[in-house]
Amino acid sequence: MPAEYKVAVVGRFKAGKSSFVNELLGRSLAGENTNPETAAVTTFCHGNSVKAAIQFVAQAEWDELKQVYKEEPKSPDAHRVANWFKFNKKKPDPDDTDGEIYDEAALAALEKQYLAAGGRPKEIVLDESLGKKGESAFRRELKRFTTSTKPHHCLVQTIDISTPSDLLDEGVRLIDTPGLDDTERFRVSLTEEAVEGVDAILFLTQSGVAYGQSEKDFLLTLLRKGTVKQLVFVITQVDKTYAQHVRQARDEGEHPQPIEKRVEIERRRIEQQVEATLLELGDGSDSPALQRYQEQLGDVEVIFTSAASHRDWLAKEEVKHPLQAGDPGGMMAVKRALLDLLSTESRLAATARAIEAGAGSLLDTMVGIIQNRRAAVHNIKNREEAERKLGLFRSQLEQAGSEFSATTSKDMQTLTSSLSAKARLIESLVENILLQAEAVLSEYETSDAARHWKTRRSGNWGFMSALQAKVANAIFPKVAGLLSEQQEEFLTFIDKFKAHLDYLSATSHSVSESLELGSEVRLDVSERLAKFLQEILVDLQSLVTAEEQRIVTLLDEFVTQDVQDRIAAARESVADEWGAGTTYRQTLGVRKFYSELKQILRDALRDHVQQARHGFAEYLQAQASLLPDKAIGEIGAELERMQANITAAAEAAMQGKKAAFDELAERLSKPLSETAAWLHESLAIDGPNEVPDGCRILQVHAKAPAESSPQHPLGSVTALSTEAKDHSAPLDPPETGVFDKIRRDASDLRERYVLKRGAGNWALPRIFADRYLKDATHALIVDPYLSRPQQMRNLGEFIACLRRIPTFRTLRVITGTMRNEDVAEHDASLRELALQLEQVGVNLVWDRVDSVHDRFVVLDTGVVFKLGRGLDIYKHASGLARTTPELRQVHECEIDVFSRTAVK
């Protein structure tokens, strides 16, 4: 298991990253200046004293980079050396406060001082005895290797700073990165490399400043790679933005709004900017990729901060604009959110869950084997009779197994045919992908065609910074759509397979009853197949999701070295254009260059996407082909287990050792059970003896305390509009005042569901259990967020729970308001759902209310569900989880069930 959490801090230049890091650490170690001070990736870890360990690039690697620069100065691999040689000047850099000159001799001296075979280390230690002077001297010395105004940072490989810090003492390694909009591409590359594999990303953006393109590109790349679940938006310098608002309001003779109001306004602005970015990417369409992005971002926390306010607060100085009492700078909120996120979403948490799941399942299996053998020893009286019954069961089930194999084989052929048939449709999707990629390249072409001839002659054109990532981000929605088309066929096969497996399980149960196996031959084929299906679906979910993620990540690699070489050659031919009519001929060369480049990228992308499509289809078919034999194998294993139990029972009876065996079984199973309980507790996944999927159910049959009592989060729902509009069915639901009274009377807390973040096997029927829905005729659901695709999916699944009850007839839905342009589409979706329900005698009506905050469900039988997150309890669902609710992971939340009277 990893011993630490890795947290990266990213953001644009002037976003206040270094000030934020210093306040988060509780010590001023990161350089703060008007220049980009984080030019090298700096990692902070816990230590008893403050010291910086700097590792420089190895001599051989540096020499290789210099050779690349000599042969192709514009190569991305040469950016570090290209930046190094920019310091070769006869005059000091105006941004360098020390006024040092780094000519050719000075640069050579630095190389000799800091480079060595294998990389030379350097240590800088803070002398605590010097107090503030010591800290200043430490920062000044460290700054030489982190600031962009000196060439030293080009030689730096890594910087690790150890320091005493409460946050770092929790096992956190904090990684400070160069700015996303850094003008030097190699420093941006350092940031992109630093965030790979981290446990969380603190994404800093300055208050009051709109997103830049660099932030959009970085965010989209995170979304595409699926790492956004570990993202926290941190809005910095809120004090400055609010101070500006106060001054402006007073200048205009108005009262300034409270800081809480300004924060909420900015929160909405940020959400709208992100939403606009996603809609722009998806061309406004409701693509699978766009849904994926929206669901991921629904998880992201936004925290507002002010490093200056936090610093003043710690110094016991006046804080003019505190964000909240006890945490005026918001830094405590960042720490709380970060540690909570790491405890549930990090590599450590994932590893703990994997250990718990794997080891726990193994222990449960071992205990089950012992208990089954123990029961067999006690129950089997006649070995011959038991073996005869087992033989009959085996022979009758073999026929059912043959039919199962034949049926699933036909389904497999259908899957193969369907995937092949979709190939023609997918060809058109591939063509759209290529056009989308060309559109990205055309933006570069327009810019370069307008450049001055001197700029083109000097070679400062045609360099497509991060072209590959930009193209990948642009085309990802369509690639995700392409993979989804193939997954749909696979999901259809899985649904059929589940049905066939259920039938085989029912057949085994029927055969068992017809043979009157009784307690002597205890066969658990049905139970074993049910467990097999759940385990296989979980495994398939992981495999399919991982394969899909691998493919979308490979979009970063479609430009091969051969393609890069051809691009470089084409660029050079234009840069070397001389003579009369240079501008005209250069422009023609630029156009020709991009025409050739488009074809190069078209061919590279076509090959890449086609290979991904074929590979994914073959992968799905391979996974599907394994399932039937695995299922038959499970049955065979169960029969062999029973045969072994019969033999063991006969031997124990013959030797008169039933009591001894019973004692041995008890001695073996007890420590195994205790170990399983310890595993749950020590890994902090579940308490002992709780539901094994990571969720806890507490039975409560006493009057709920006052704070748990369902009050009126909406005020009185009787004030809500109840107009049924044109979608009313013959049977109308009760007025909302009826539901209001039910909520007042429902004070008996019957059950509390505690859902732990990341847990699975939590479909809605488990919450809205039949014992609570029984005899219900009318229901009200209040949930402000029922508009996005996944939210509408959840609503449909909730209605499916209600439809299991024969008496159910009407549902009233109250949700929040939305943008005017979205109302018509949302109404159309609800109207379609209402028409479908009307066919089965169920009436659906809905209203939108601006002040909706709390979430709950009220039944006319007196049962009330208080929903912490409404129906939106699931995290982003991909692969099989899209259609199999049990496979979805949940958010952390609590759901209380109240009633007026006891519910059995």
Condensed to tens digits (0 to 9), the pLDDT of residues 822-843 reads 788 888 889 999 999 988 889 9
Least confident piece of the model among 149-158, 315-324, 542-551, 617-626: 542-551
Beta strands 748-755 and 778-782 are unpaired
Sign of the C-alpha dihedral computed for residues 401, 403, 409 and 411 taken in this order: negative
pLDDT at 120 over 60: yes
Residue 180's Cβ-side half-sphere holds a number of Cα atoms within 13 Å equal to 23
What is the distance between the alpha carbons of residues 609 and 613, in angstroms, rounded to a whole number? 6
- 395's tokens: 């022979």
Q: What is the pLDDT of residue 157?
A: 86
Residue 634, both tokens = 């499970």
Of the ranges 185-194, 258-267, 487-496, the best mean pLDDT one: 258-267
Please tell me the predicted confidence (pLDDT) of residue 889. Answer: 84
pLDDT, tens digit, for every residue of 127-186? 888 888 888 888 888 888 888 888 888 898 888 999 998 888 888 889 888 777 665 666
pLDDT in tens, 208-264: 876 777 777 778 777 777 666 678 889 999 999 999 999 999 888 889 999 999 998
HSE of 650, CA atoms in CB hemisphere, 13 A:
13
Structure tokens belonging to residue 389: 């019954």
Task: Confirm if 891 and 884 have CB atoms less than 8 A apart.
Answer: no
For residue 695, the model assigns a pLDDT of 46
Q: Give the position of tokens 């990205």.
A: 440
- The phi and psi torsions of 526 (rounded to 5 degrees) equal -60, -45
Contacts of 802 (CB under 8 A, 6+ apart): 768, 773, 776, 779, 808, 811, 842
Token pair in block for residue 38:
């984080």
List the one residue out of 595, 611, 516, 510 whose CA is nearest residue 555: 611
**Whether pLDDT at 409 is above 80:** yes
Helix 17-25, helix 331-345: angle, nearest 10:
80
- Residue 515 is predicted with a pLDDT of 67
What's the token pair of residue 324?
Answer: 């909240």
Say if residues 698 and 686 touch (Cβ distance below 8 Å). no
At 34 the pLDDT is 47
Backbone angles phi, psi at 54, to 5 degrees: -105, 130
Q: What is the pLDDT of residue 701?
A: 39
Choose the weakest-confidence range: 151-155, 169-173, 453-457, 716-720: 716-720
| Total Cβ atoms within 10 A of residue 553 | 13
Radius of gyration of the chain (CA): 33
Characterize 350-360 residue by residue with b for buried, 16 or more Cβ atoms within 10 angstroms of its Cβ, and e for exposed: eebbeebbeeb
The half-sphere exposure of 207 on its side-chain side, counting CA atoms within 13 A, is 24
Q: Does 618 score more than 90 pLDDT?
A: no
Other beta carbons less than 10 A from residue 266's beta carbon: 18
Beta bridge partners of 304: 235
Dihedral in degrees, nearest 10, Cα atoms 245, 247, 253, 258: 40
For 58, which DSSP code? B
SS3 label, residue 721: coil
What pLDDT sits at residue 683? Answer: 55
Tokens of 382: 């006649």
Q: According to the per-residue pLDDT averaged within each range, which of 162-176, 650-664, 855-869 is highest? A: 855-869
CA distances from 472 to 218, 476, 812 (A): 12, 6, 44
Q: For residue 803, is pLDDT > 60? A: yes
For the chain, give the percent of residues with pLDDT over 70. 71
Specify the pLDDT at position 682: 55
Tokens encoding 567: 């691009």
Contact predicate 859/810, CB 8 Å: no
Q: How distant is the alpha carbon of residue 229 from its chain centre?
A: 3
What whole-number percentage of the chain has pLDDT above 90?
14
| Structure token pair of residue 142 | 């460290």
In whole angstroms, give the CA distance from residue 238 to residue 644: 71
For residue 742, the SS3 value is: helix
Which amino acid is present at 802? L
**Look-up: residue for tokens 């980009």?**
36
More confident residue, 127 or 101: 127
Nearest CA to 258 out of 245, 269, 240, 247 is that of 245
Residues in contact with 84: Cβ distance below 8 Å, sequence separation at least 6, in sequence order: 107, 151, 154, 155
| DSSP string over 788-834 | SHHHHHHHHHHHHHHHTSTT--EEEEEE----HHHHHHHHHHHHHHH
Structure tokens, 15? 């976003």
- CA-closest candidate to residue 174, choices 186, 154, 159, 185: 159
Torsion of CA 729, 730, 734, 735, to 10 degrees: 70
For residue 6, the cross-strand partners are: 173
The H or E element spanning position 147 is none
Q: What is the pLDDT of residue 91?
A: 63
Residue 617 pLDDT: 83
Tokens 């953006």, residue located: 205
**467 within 8 A of 437, measured Cβ to Cβ:** no
**pLDDT band at residue 309 using 50, 70 and 90 as cut-offs:** very high
- pLDDT at 844 (0 to 100): 92
* Tokens at 515, concatenated: 């043979």
CA distance 515 to 348: 50
Most confident among 91-95, 212-216, 500-504, 714-718 (mean pLDDT) = 500-504
**Can you give the pLDDT at residue 843?**
92
Calpha distance 277→223 (Å, rounded): 12
C-beta of residue 380 within 8 angstroms of C-beta of residue 649:
yes
Q: Work out the pLDDT band at 780, boundaries 50, 70, 90.
A: very high
Pairing assessment for the beta strands 172-176 and 42-46 based on DSSP bridges: antiparallel
Interaxial angle between packed helices 238-251 and 259-281, expressed in degrees from 0 to 180 and rounded to the nearest 10:
110
Mean pLDDT on 573-587: 73
Instruction: Yes or no: say if 36 and 95 are a contact pair by the CB < 8 Å rule.
Output: no
Classify residue 47 as left (phi > 0), alpha (psi -120 to 50) or beta. beta
Structure tokens at 406: 């034949």
**Per-residue confidence (pLDDT) for residue 545, from 0 to 100:** 72
pLDDT value of position 896? 93
Long-range contacts at 272-275 (CB < 8 A, ≥ 24 apart): 273/210, 273/211, 274/211, 274/219
Task: State yes or no: pLDDT of 898 exceeds 90.
Answer: yes
Copy the structure tokens of residue 461.
């054109």
Token pair belonging to 411: 């389904």
- Is 698:752 a contact under the CB 8 Å cutoff? yes
